[in-house]
Amino acid sequence: MTEWLWLFLDLTLILLLLTLAWLTCATHNNQKGVTYFIAFGLLLALAWARLKAPDLALAEAVIGAGISGALLLAAIKHDDDAQSVNKLPSIKLWMVNLLTVALATLMGWGVWHGLELSDGNRLADQVLAQVPESGVTNPVTAVLLNFRAYDTLLELAVVLTAVLAVLTLNPMRKTYVPAEPILQTMLSWLVPLLVVTSGYLLWVGAHAPGGAFQAGALLASALILLQLAQPTAYQAINLNWMRFLLIVGIAVFVSVGLLMMFLNTAFLGYSSSWSGILILVIETAATFSIASALAIAYMGGRPDGWETFETSTSSGHQGGKHS
């Protein structure tokens, strides 16, 4: 009986996902499109949970639906024609459709033939066999922070680069309507809760679903909420702290990696008795960097004084502030 219930739920989920995906693409209204996309992300998180991938479900809910949704909404707020029709010429549209269909068919064909291949010494089996050596018991964290930690290091660099691009291109957005009292009251409950949950996710990542990316994104959402409620709060931000938070994740990661190279010849080759604590140290630093990066991305540009702070101390360079 319960099996039928699950099947019904899964089919509903698939149907809803397809519908929302179609609606997201089909609508010509940016605001609606983004809203559909956020709903799509939340349902996708459920789908991951059904596929027994809770780490991905968490990441999808927090980053895919939450933070990306906020970023997209902030981006279209700039756009004067957010409500208006935003339509590709029909020839281009058909070319895009044709390409997508071709791509999907090609991939489907490949996967269909590939299903027979799955045998032998696959990576996933190796990972599960080696998890006890990694210093953590959650296999996802073992891959992200130990076996393939170098990928994660470069991913952090990608996040930093994206933020550098944001800081390069624009000054910060300033036009905010002050929040209503009800949001202010709610925030005094919500923000501490988010901070605690974020800390919990970070800690629990060692043996259960969670980890730096999810924790960082939650922390960022707390910062974004604060920013929405109190637009002026960020003007008092200490820019040196901001710089420090942005780079601390990669800096700690690289330092640990190089230190381990001196001790154990391989970059990021943790000494096995220390690997648990080293992973936690790296993840904590990464959480701060990810949170500040996402919060800055939401600010949409550099805050006042980001570029001219040094010219006040040196008399020689008086570079005009860029408009």
Partner 1 sequence: MNNPMVWVIMLPLLASLITLAWPRRAHWIGLLFSVITLAFSMVLVYQVFNGGPQTHELGNWNAGLGIALRADALSASLLVMAMLVFTATTFYADAYFSDVNKRMRFWPLWLMLSTAINALLLSGDLFNLYVTLELLGLSAVALTALSDNRAALQASIRYLSIGLLGSLVFLAGVALIYTGYGILDLELLAQRIQAEPLAQVALTLMSAGLIIKSALFPMHFWLPAAHASAPAPVSAALSALVVKVSLYIILRLWIDVFDVVITPASALLIGILGAAAVIWGSWQALRAERLKLLAAYSTVAQLGYLFIFIPLITGLPEGQLRETAFTALVLLALTHGFAKSALFLSAGVVQHRAGHDRIADLAGTSRALPLTTFIIALSGVALIGLPPSGSFIAKWQLLAASIHSAQWWWIPVVATGSILAAAYTFRVLGHAFGPGDSAGKVLNWGREEIPALTLALFATVVLGLGSAGLWDFISNNSQFIGG
Residues in touch with partner 1 (CB under 8 A): 103, 106-107, 109-111, 113-115, 117-118, 120-127, 130, 146-151, 154-155, 157-158, 160-162, 164-165, 167-169, 243-244, 246-247, 250-251, 254, 257-258, 261, 264-270, 307-308, 310-311, 314, 317-322
- The nearest distance, CB 189 to partner 1, in angstroms, is 36
Q: Which two structure tokens, joined as six digits, stand for 242? A: 């901001």
* Residue 23 buriedness (CB in 10 A; 0-12 / 13-18 / 19+): middle
Nearer to partner 1, 226 or 278 (CB): 278
Nearest-10 Cα torsion for 89, 90, 96, 102: -170
CA angle 70, 74, 76 (to 5 degrees): 120
CB 185, min distance to partner 1, A: 38
Nearer to partner 1, 9 or 101 (CB): 101
- How distant, in Å, are the alpha carbons of 1, 105, 199 from that of 280? 43, 43, 12
Q: Which is closer to partner 1, CB of 139 or CB of 231?
A: 139
CA triple 197-55-20, angle to 5 deg: 100
Could you tell me the smallest distance in angstroms from the CB atom of residue 52 to partner 1? Answer: 18
313, amino acid identity:
T
DSSP letter for 313, please.
T
Minimum distance from CB of 98 to partner 1 (Å)?
Answer: 15
Question: DSSP per residue over 82-96, as a string?
Answer: TTS-----HHHHHHH
The smaller minimum CB distance to partner 1, of residues 142 and 194, is found at 142
Give min distance, CB of 162 to partner 1, in A.
Answer: 6
Q: How far is the CB of 319 from partner 1 (least distance, A)?
A: 3
Distance of alpha carbon 104 from alpha carbon 288, whole angstroms: 38
